Amino acid sequence: MKLQDKNTIVTGGASGFGAGIVARFLEEGANVTIVDFDETAALAYMESLKSDRVHFEYADLADGKSVAELFDRLQTRWSRLDVLVNNAGTTHLPALLEDVSEKDFDKVFAVNAKSVYYTSKFAVPWMKQQAAGAIVNIASTAALSPRPHLTWYNASKGWMVTATKSMAIELASERIRVNAICPVAGETPLLASFMGSDTPETREKFLSSIPLGRFSTPKDIAATALYLASDEAAMITGVALEVDGGRCI
Ligand SMILES: NC(=O)c1ccc[n+]([C@@H]2O[C@H](COP(=O)([O-])OP(=O)(O)OC[C@H]3O[C@@H](n4cnc5c(N)ncnc54)[C@H](O)[C@@H]3O)[C@@H](O)[C@H]2O)c1
């Protein structure tokens, strides 16, 4: 029960890594708000969780007004916020860097980078009031050891790592910890978009660069998010922790 009675937000909690984090946080006693723009998926997932400590809030995290309204509703519901997981993310399809459309570039940066600016505008003042809080940002090994043809996605995750370190140093005196997780390619619906096509050949190509010989899973990422969000990591801030089976060695 490492998060007993903690109020936690998991963005993109309807699918993939986020869904894994939601389930693990619930097992550890947390109250969890899933924030997602896929209401159908979120409600179906919540139904399967059979918990009265999870609830869903719609928000488009790439839209500042939508995020402001989200925090208005949350502040009516909760008197404090203990943990924020900025997990929602997206990618462009693999392409030569000069061929990625401006629309796709803007989408990637709006969801992967600007959403963190938006959630920080509300979550950080809230955590400052209570002089406590933990923020976990889901970055990627793409930030540390980029693959070709995903350049703008990789760069958005590099942004996430620098934002994490800068947030951590600025917020340390407020007793707010900020850390990032850098997962290697993982078994989620987003994987096919990274690979371009989900075939045995593309899977083999990705797997061949992971020394432990498998993709990451939502359970791997959830275990790491739990640790970084919990008091067990009380002395840890500003790290970008690879969960990558050795990919970045
Ligand atoms: N799967 C991988 O291989 C991998 C590897 C490294 C890092 N990551 C990162 O992990 C995070 C989670 O990815 P995933 O693989 O679980 O993806 P996913 O597609 O399974 O889940 C992403 C969730 O985010 C939600 N979302 C996307 N844009 C949103 C928006 N604008 N507003 C609200 N919700 C939005 C989606 O509806 C979905 O529920 C992302 O930040 C991704 O970049 C993924």
Structure letter (DSSP) for residue 152 = H
Distance, CA 185 to ligand 1 centroid (Å)?
12
pTM, rounded to two decimals: 0.99
Per-residue model confidence (pLDDT) at position 107: 98
The model's pLDDT over 50-67, given as tens digits with 9 standing for 90+, comes to 999 999 999 999 999 999
The model's pLDDT over 142-154, given as tens digits with 9 standing for 90+, comes to 999 999 999 999 9
Is 248 part of any domain? no
Report the CATH number that the domain containing residue 182 is assigned in CATH: 3.40.50.720
CA nearest to 70, candidates 47, 36, 111: 36
Q: Which residues line ligand 1 (CB under 6 A)?
A: 12, 14-18, 36-38, 41, 59-62, 87-90, 111, 138, 140, 183, 185-186, 188-191, 194
The model's pLDDT over 173-185, given as tens digits with 9 standing for 90+, comes to 999 999 999 999 9
Instruction: Tell me if 153 sits within 8 A of 91, measured CB to CB.
Output: yes
Domains identified in the chain, total number: 1
Phi-psi region of 172 (alpha: psi -120 to 50; beta: other; left: phi over 0): alpha
Is 16 part of any domain? yes
pLDDT band at 210 (very low <50, low <70, confident <90, very high): very high
Domain extent at residue 51: 7-243
The helix (H) or strand (E) run that includes residue 59 is none
Instruction: Tell me if 67 sits within 8 A of 122, measured CB to CB.
Output: yes
Per-residue model confidence (pLDDT) at position 118: 99
CA nearest to 83, candidates 133, 11, 13: 133
